[in-house]
Amino acid sequence: MHRHDADLLGLDVPWGLLLAVAPLVPLGLVADRTVSLGSASLMIGWGLVLALQGSTSRGQYLIADDSVGWTYTLLGLALLVAVVLRNSRLKR
């Protein structure tokens, strides 16, 4: 889904990428309010799934050597790291 895009005034808009990554921040915040270390658990899970995807056989589609795949991978992980760091500072 993260690879879906649309032509908007001659530009390719990666709406699937935005739709896939945007909910991570609110999901991390809700996870922290629901479970102790919720956003950290979400971040670790995100990283594990991506690492396991990368270790599968060739031809997998999620992580690729292109900008969409790396944006999905790294931006999602960076957003979750930011939520974890923000929440840990608030609890001090």
Q: d(Cα 38, Cα 29) in Å, to the nearest integer?
A: 8
Q: d(Cα 25, Cα 78) in Å, to the nearest integer?
A: 10
Q: What is the pLDDT of residues 47-87, one digit of tens each?
A: 887 777 766 666 655 565 677 777 877 888 888 888 888 87
CB 84 within 8 A of CB 43: yes
CB 32 within 8 A of CB 83: yes
DSSP state of 7: E
Q: What is the pLDDT of residues 3-27, one digit of tens each?
A: 777 877 777 778 887 888 888 888 8
pLDDT at position 69 is: 75
pLDDT at position 59 is: 60
pLDDT at position 19 is: 83
pLDDT at position 60 is: 56
pLDDT at position 72 is: 78
